[in-house]
């Protein structure tokens, strides 16, 4: 079976739940968490220099963003900015890290599945991936630029990224950023 849709995991209910074991600490941790698909968080011109302005993509609501969504927006934004601005003229950073472990309780299907299925008994779930939790007003992405004429290109790249994500986002422009 493929991945469940992101709509199953986008809401932030409460704080992250993990098992609590008072006597046996070995049982208090989630085992077998797969690593995040996203490995690169800083792209473009990484040299220490003064940037004229920065654009931030900010979440308008509390939401969870899965690690495969972060990788998809990283690739699409970098491709768009590299083709239209050039690698030396921008610095792109993903500000959220996928810490939260997503779990699912897989149910068996088919003939005879009810004989060995346990239903919701001991249904902590198996780890299937990770997600970044964003609060309202938290930055997801940042792009730093040299020239104000490049703002529409970055806004278009953020629009491409927002189409790959669930939730609502806004764009904030910061003047005279300096070093990052």
Per residue in 52-96, pLDDT tens?
Answer: 899 999 999 998 899 999 999 999 999 999 999 988 999 999 999
The DSSP call for residue 166 is S
Nearest of 104, 177, 101 to residue 139 by alpha carbon: 177
User: What domains, with CATH codes, occur in the chain?
Assistant: 37-105+120-178 (3.90.1170.10)
Per residue in 117-140, pLDDT tens?
Answer: 677 776 777 888 889 999 999 999
Q: How far apart are CA 152 and CA 45, in angstroms?
A: 19
Q: Chain-wide mean pLDDT for the chain? A: 84
Position 174 confidence tier, pLDDT thresholds 50, 70, 90: confident
Helix (H, G, I), strand (E, B) or coil at 68: helix
Q: How far apart are CA 59 and CA 57, in angstroms?
A: 7
**Predicted pLDDT of residue 105:** 78
User: Residue 161 half-sphere exposure, CB side, CA atoms within 13 Å?
Assistant: 31
The residues, ordered by sequence, that sit 6+ positions from 28 with a Cβ below 8 Å of its Cβ are 18, 19, 20, 21
Q: How far apart are CA 154 and CA 157, in angstroms?
A: 5
Entry pTM? 0.82
């Amino acid at each position: 079976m493929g991945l469940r849709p992101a709509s199953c995991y986008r809401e932030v209910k409460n704080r992250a739940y993990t098992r609590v074991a008072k006597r046996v600490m070995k049982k208090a941790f989630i085992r077998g968490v797969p690593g995040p698909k996203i490995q690169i968080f800083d792209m473009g011109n990484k040299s220490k220099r003064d940037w004229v302005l920065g654009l931030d993509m900010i979440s308008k609501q509390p939401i969870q963003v899965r690690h495969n969504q972060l990788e998809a927006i990283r690739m699409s934004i970098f491709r768009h900015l590299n083709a239209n601005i050039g690698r030396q003229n921008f610095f792109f950073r993903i500000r959220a890290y996928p810490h939260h472990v997503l779990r699912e309780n897989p149910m068996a299907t088919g003939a005879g599945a009810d004989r060995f299925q346990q239903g919701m008994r001991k249904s902590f779930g198996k780890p299937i991936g990770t997600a970044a939790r964003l609060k309202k007003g938290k930055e997801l992405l940042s792009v730093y630029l040299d020239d104000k004429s490049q703002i529409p290109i970055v806004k278009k790249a953020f629009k491409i990224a927002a189409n790959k994500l669930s939730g609502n986002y806004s764009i904030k422009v910061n003047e005279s950023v300096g070093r990052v």
